[in-house]
Chains A and B, each alone.
Chain A
Amino acid sequence: MTTATSPTDAADRSSPTAGPPAGTAGGTTSERRRRERRAGWLFVLPDAIGLLIFLGIPMVLTFVLSFFRVNGFGAYDFVGFANFQRMFSDPQFTSSLLRSLVYIVILVPLLFVVSLALAILVTKKIPMIGVFRSAFFVPYVVSLVVVGLVWQFMLTDKVGVVSRLFSGIGVEASWLGDPKYALASVIVVTVWYQMGYYMIIFMAGIQDIPKEYYEAATIDGAGGWASFKSITWPLLRPTSFFVLLTTTIAALTGGLDLIYVLTKGGPANSTTLVIFYIFQQAFQYGEFGYAAAMSTFLVLVMLAISMVIFAVTRGGRFDND
Chain B
Amino acid sequence: MPETPQHVNPSTDLSGGLNRRRLFKMGGAIAAGSIATPLISSCSSASASEPLRFWNFYSPVTQEKEDLQRQSDWFAKLVSDWNSSHERQVVLEYIPGQAYSGSKLPTAFAAGNGPDIFLISPGDFLRYQTGGVLADLTPYMTQEAIDDFFPDALATRTVDGKVYALPMEIEPLTIFYSRPAWERAGLSEGDIPTSWDQLLNVADKLTSASSSGLVLETVPGYYQNFTYYPWFWAANGKMFNEDQTAATFAGAAGEQSLRFWADTVRTGVAPRTLPAAGDLVGALSGGQAAMWHSGIWNVVAFQLNAPDFDYGVFKTPWPSGGEYTTALGGWAFVANAKSRDAQAAAEFCVYALGSMEDHSINRMVDWCTYAKSDIAPRKSALQRGTAKGGYDTPVMKTFKDDIFPGGRGEPRYPPVVYKAISDAVQACQLAGADPAQAAETANKAIDAYLKTYDGPRME
- On whether the two chains bind one another, the answer is yes
A17 at the interface (CB under 8 A from B): no
- Chain B 336-377: CB-based contact to A (< 8 A → 1; otherwise 0): 001000000000000000000000000000000000000000
CB atoms of B210 and A264 under 8 A apart: no
**Chain B binder among A119-127, A208-216, A244-252, A265-273:** A265-273
**Chain B residues bordering chain A, tally (CB within 8 A):** 52
CB atoms of A266 and B7 under 8 A apart: no
Cα distance A14–B358 in the bound complex, in angstroms: 91
CB atoms of A7 and B5 under 8 A apart: yes
| Chain B residue, CB-CB nearest to A73 | B131
CB atoms of B110 and A179 under 8 A apart: no
B383 at the interface (CB under 8 A from A): no
Give the residues in chain A near B212, CB-CB below 8 Å: 157-158
Give the residues in chain A near B221, CB-CB below 8 Å: 264
CB atoms of A25 and B431 under 8 A apart: no
CB atoms of A267 and B210 under 8 A apart: no
**Residue B415 contacts which of A4, A6, A263, A284 (CB distance < 8 angstroms)?**
A284
CB atoms of A71 and B430 under 8 A apart: no
CB atoms of A49 and B275 under 8 A apart: no
CB atoms of B415 and A267 under 8 A apart: no
**Chain B binder among A106-114, A132-140, A170-178, A222-230:** A170-178
CB atoms of B277 and A156 under 8 A apart: yes
Whether A73 touches B109, Cβ cut-off 8 Å, given contacts A158-B212, A174-B273, A284-B415, is: yes
**Residue B427 contacts which of A174, A268, A283 (CB distance < 8 angstroms)?**
A268
Give the residues in chain A near B299, CB-CB below 8 Å: none
CB atoms of A264 and B430 under 8 A apart: no
A35 at the interface (CB under 8 A from B): yes
Give the residues in chain B near A176, CB-CB below 8 Å: 272-273
CB atoms of B426 and A266 under 8 A apart: yes
Give the residues in chain B near A155, CB-CB below 8 Å: 273
Q: Counting chain A CB atoms within 10 Å of each CB, which of B103, B130, B272, B277 scores highest? A: B272
**Residue B106 contacts which of A49, A152, A286 (CB distance < 8 angstroms)?**
A286
**Residue A174 contacts which of B8, B209, B271, B419 (CB distance < 8 angstroms)?**
B271
Q: How many residues of A sit at the interface, in one of the four size bands?
A: 35 or more
A186 at the interface (CB under 8 A from B): no
B9 at the interface (CB under 8 A from A): yes
| Chain B residue, CB-CB nearest to A5 | B5
A-B CB pair tally, cutoff 8 Å: 131
- Chain B 121-154: CB-based contact to A (< 8 A → 1; otherwise 0): 0000001101111000000000000000000000
A58 at the interface (CB under 8 A from B): no
Give the residues in chain A near B64, CB-CB below 8 Å: none
B241 at the interface (CB under 8 A from A): no
Cα distance A45–B146 in the bound complex, in angstroms: 61
CB atoms of B277 and A149 under 8 A apart: yes
Least Cβ distance of B228 to chain A in Å? 14
CB atoms of B426 and A285 under 8 A apart: no
**Residue A25 contacts which of B7, B107, B416 (CB distance < 8 angstroms)?**
B7
Give the residues in chain B near A267, CB-CB below 8 Å: 218, 220, 272, 426, 429-431
A79 at the interface (CB under 8 A from B): no
Give the residues in chain B near A152, CB-CB below 8 Å: 273, 277
**Residue B109 contacts which of A72, A264, A287 (CB distance < 8 angstroms)?**
A72
Cα distance A32–B349 in the bound complex, in angstroms: 69
Cα distance A282–B110 in the bound complex, in angstroms: 10
| Chain B residue, CB-CB nearest to A267 | B430
CB atoms of A157 and B426 under 8 A apart: no
Give the residues in chain B near A286, CB-CB below 8 Å: 106, 110, 127, 131, 415
CB atoms of A266 and B5 under 8 A apart: no
- Chain A 69-80: CB-based contact to B (< 8 A → 1; otherwise 0): 011111100000
Which 7 A-B pairs give the minimum distances between C-beta atoms? A177-B272, A73-B131, A285-B415, A267-B430, A268-B431, A174-B272, A177-B273
| Chain B residues within 8 Å of A, Cβ to Cβ | 2-3, 5, 7-11, 20, 24, 31, 98, 102-103, 106-107, 109-110, 112, 127-128, 130-133, 209-212, 218-221, 271-277, 288, 338, 415-416, 419, 423, 426-427, 429-431, 433
| Chain A residues within 8 Å of B, Cβ to Cβ | 2, 4-7, 10, 25-27, 35, 38-39, 42, 46, 49, 70-75, 149, 152-153, 155-159, 174, 176-179, 260, 263-270, 279, 282-288
